[in-house]
Structure 1
């Protein structure tokens, strides 16, 4: 008892011991089975890494889409404020026109100057409002574009996740056709990822 130690086996230790006990079986069995295990393990590691990158890109494009949509909303509010300002100037111009028509001849020039000023200010306000509306439309377009790319990244990530699941099933069942399906689904995911990168 003096030199004895107490050791508790965790699940990982149990799997390592199990693998060591059956190493002889693998060595005497088909070498293609061992090769398949190694191939799927490497494939899973690579696809999981690429999938993590795709997931990050999907999150980034979604954040950009939200930011751009927010910018569009701000610009739309600014444009609305400009149109309200334009309407206020129009109202003042109408009142000045009525005042000019009712005023004596010596005061008509005063009101006409106001009318001319309001007309000039209205043109400037209108141009500014239209410019801000164009900016809002541009932000909306950029937001829609980012959301489209986000959906592409999400599709690519999902395909790679399905591929990893197929790899696990192929590893458990040792079915060669499942390995081909695994590679095929991964190829589809990578192709969609390339489309996302190209903003297609």
Structure 2
């Protein structure tokens, strides 16, 4: 099975086999950053999945909460119909309708309490989703910086420019710094 290597991979491999100390440093630097990038890709995927699961829970809970509020509205409408029936009926049916009104009021209070609790759960699930999303975005930024550093290192191995290697190192350090912040925010 043949695989096609990216241009920077060939340059790094060539640099590793040459006698130039800069080329060897570039090869080691690139290998370290590539390993870190692999770890960050994994962590980013885990956080993205967790964030989506929390967001999915929030959406499902919001749907159930809406159902509860619809049930509350139905109980309220039935209660109003019982109030109307009580006013229009004779004295012999007044007690029955008053009992029905009390029953619907009690149900409304129970439903309202449950709906409020569910709204809190929705809010918590959304908050958890956001908590997972923030470090995920930081890992994406860190990966971008590491990829820039790797690309600049590959160009360094081709040009032999020490200044470019310093810029690659700065991009790599910035990427590592952002990734550390991302891990601290998990």
Q: Same fold (TM over 0.5)?
A: yes
Q: 2:117 aligns with which of 122, 131, 136?
A: 131
Query: Would you say 1:142 and 2:128 are equivalent positions?
Result: yes
1:54 and 1:182 map into 2 onto residues whose CA distance is 18
TM-score (normalised: structure 1): 0.81
Quick check: 151-160 or 62-71, which moved more? Answer: 62-71
Following superposition, the deviation at residue 81 of structure 1 comes to 0.2
Match of 1:29? none
**How far apart, in 1, do the equivalents of 2:146 and 2:46 lie?**
18
* Partner Cα separation in structure 1 for residue 66 and residue 30 of structure 2: 53
Write the deviation string for residues 80-101 of structure 1: whole angstroms up to 9, x where unpaired: 0000000000011001111111
Partner of 1:162: 148
Instruction: Write the mapping of 1:7-86 to structure 2, written as runs, cut at 5 A.
Output: 26=19, 34-86=20-72
4+ residue runs of structure 1 moved beyond 6 angstroms? none
Q: 2:73 aligns with which of 87, 93, 99?
A: 87
| Corresponding pairs, count | 173
Aligned-CA RMSD value: 2.0
Q: CA deviation at 1:104?
A: 1.8
Note the residue ranges of structure 1 that are not aligned, 5 or more in a row: 1-10, 27-33
Q: Deviations along 1:25-52, whole A, 9 cap, x unmatched?
A: x5xxxxxxx2212211111111100010
Deviation larger for 161-170 or 143-152: 143-152
- Consecutive unaligned residues of structure 2, counting only runs of 5 or more, are none
Matching residue of 2:89:
103
Alpha-carbon displacement from aligned partner over 1:8-40 (angstroms, at most 9, x marks no partner): xxx9xxx9xxx8xx97xx5xxxxxxx2212211
Query: Which TM-score applies when normalising by structure 2?
Result: 0.87
Computing the radius of gyration over CA atoms, which structure comes out larger, 1 or 2? Answer: 1
